[in-house]
Amino acid sequence: MAYLRTKQPQDGGNNPGDDEDDDRDDGPSRDTEDEAASARLVVKNLAYSTTEDAVAEKFSEFGHVAEVHAPIDRSTKAPLGYAFVRFVLPEAAQNAREA
Protein backbone atom coordinates (compact mmCIF):
# COMPACT_ATOMS: atom_id res chain seq x y z
CA MET A 1 0.00 0.00 0.00
CA ALA A 2 1.16 3.54 -0.60
CA TYR A 3 2.46 5.83 2.11
CA LEU A 4 -0.35 7.52 4.08
CA ARG A 5 -0.10 10.91 5.70
CA THR A 6 -2.58 13.39 7.01
CA LYS A 7 -2.41 16.98 5.89
CA GLN A 8 -0.04 18.96 8.09
CA PRO A 9 -0.51 22.62 9.07
CA GLN A 10 1.38 25.21 7.06
CA ASP A 11 2.99 26.67 10.21
CA GLY A 12 6.31 24.86 10.39
CA GLY A 13 7.79 25.98 13.69
CA ASN A 14 8.24 28.67 16.24
CA ASN A 15 6.72 32.03 15.54
CA PRO A 16 8.70 35.21 16.20
CA GLY A 17 8.12 36.23 19.78
CA ASP A 18 7.43 32.67 20.98
CA ASP A 19 8.98 32.05 24.34
CA GLU A 20 10.96 28.81 24.08
CA ASP A 21 11.24 28.60 27.89
CA ASP A 22 7.46 28.57 28.33
CA ASP A 23 6.66 25.48 30.43
CA ARG A 24 2.88 25.79 30.31
CA ASP A 25 0.85 22.71 29.49
CA ASP A 26 -1.90 23.89 27.17
CA GLY A 27 -3.34 20.40 26.75
CA PRO A 28 -3.29 18.42 23.51
CA SER A 29 -1.65 20.12 20.58
CA ARG A 30 -3.78 21.44 17.76
CA ASP A 31 -2.07 19.04 15.33
CA THR A 32 -3.31 16.04 17.33
CA GLU A 33 -6.85 17.39 17.52
CA ASP A 34 -6.97 18.23 13.79
CA GLU A 35 -5.56 14.83 12.82
CA ALA A 36 -8.02 12.96 15.02
CA ALA A 37 -11.02 14.88 13.65
CA SER A 38 -9.93 14.90 10.02
CA ALA A 39 -11.73 12.74 7.48
CA ARG A 40 -9.09 13.51 4.83
CA LEU A 41 -5.92 11.62 3.99
CA VAL A 42 -3.04 12.30 1.65
CA VAL A 43 -1.88 9.16 -0.14
CA LYS A 44 1.63 9.44 -1.55
CA ASN A 45 3.88 7.32 -3.74
CA LEU A 46 1.14 6.13 -6.07
CA ALA A 47 1.97 4.60 -9.42
CA TYR A 48 1.34 7.08 -12.22
CA SER A 49 -1.13 4.63 -13.73
CA THR A 50 -3.32 4.62 -10.58
CA THR A 51 -6.80 6.02 -11.17
CA GLU A 52 -9.09 7.85 -8.76
CA ASP A 53 -11.56 4.95 -9.06
CA ALA A 54 -8.89 2.44 -8.04
CA VAL A 55 -7.95 4.53 -4.99
CA ALA A 56 -11.62 4.88 -4.00
CA GLU A 57 -12.17 1.15 -4.37
CA LYS A 58 -9.14 0.31 -2.21
CA PHE A 59 -10.00 2.76 0.56
CA SER A 60 -13.71 1.87 0.60
CA GLU A 61 -12.81 -1.16 2.73
CA PHE A 62 -12.24 1.28 5.62
CA GLY A 63 -15.49 3.24 5.22
CA HIS A 64 -17.57 5.27 2.80
CA VAL A 65 -15.30 7.38 0.55
CA ALA A 66 -16.84 10.76 -0.23
CA GLU A 67 -14.22 11.98 -2.73
CA VAL A 68 -10.84 11.14 -4.25
CA HIS A 69 -8.75 13.77 -5.98
CA ALA A 70 -5.56 12.80 -7.83
CA PRO A 71 -3.96 16.00 -9.18
CA ILE A 72 -2.32 16.12 -12.60
CA ASP A 73 0.41 18.34 -14.01
CA ARG A 74 -1.12 21.23 -15.95
CA SER A 75 1.37 21.23 -18.78
CA THR A 76 1.98 17.50 -19.30
CA LYS A 77 -1.42 16.21 -18.08
CA ALA A 78 0.50 13.45 -16.26
CA PRO A 79 -0.52 12.30 -12.76
CA LEU A 80 1.61 13.63 -9.91
CA GLY A 81 1.73 10.36 -7.95
CA TYR A 82 -0.42 11.29 -4.96
CA ALA A 83 -4.09 11.65 -4.09
CA PHE A 84 -6.40 13.13 -1.49
CA VAL A 85 -9.00 10.76 -0.05
CA ARG A 86 -11.94 12.24 1.87
CA PHE A 87 -14.13 9.95 3.92
CA VAL A 88 -17.65 10.68 5.13
CA LEU A 89 -16.67 9.86 8.73
CA PRO A 90 -13.39 10.75 10.46
CA GLU A 91 -13.38 7.28 12.06
CA ALA A 92 -13.00 5.70 8.62
CA ALA A 93 -9.96 7.87 7.91
CA GLN A 94 -8.50 6.89 11.28
CA ASN A 95 -9.05 3.18 10.45
CA ALA A 96 -7.24 3.63 7.12
CA ARG A 97 -4.42 5.55 8.79
CA GLU A 98 -3.90 2.75 11.30
CA ALA A 99 -3.95 -0.05 8.70
The 10s digit of each residue's pLDDT in 14-41 is: 555 555 554 555 544 444 455 557 999 9
Which residues share a beta bridge with 87? 65
| pLDDT tens profile 73-92 | 999 999 999 999 999 999 99
In the chain, the percentage of residues whose pLDDT exceeds 70 is: 64
**Secondary structure of the chain in HEC code, one letter for each residue:** CCEEECCCCCCCCCCCCCCCCCCCCCCCCHHHHHHHHCCEEEEECCCCCCCHHHHHHHHCCCCCEEEEECCECCCCCCECCCEEEEECCHHHHHHHHHC
How many whole angstroms separate alpha carbon 55 and alpha carbon 67?
10
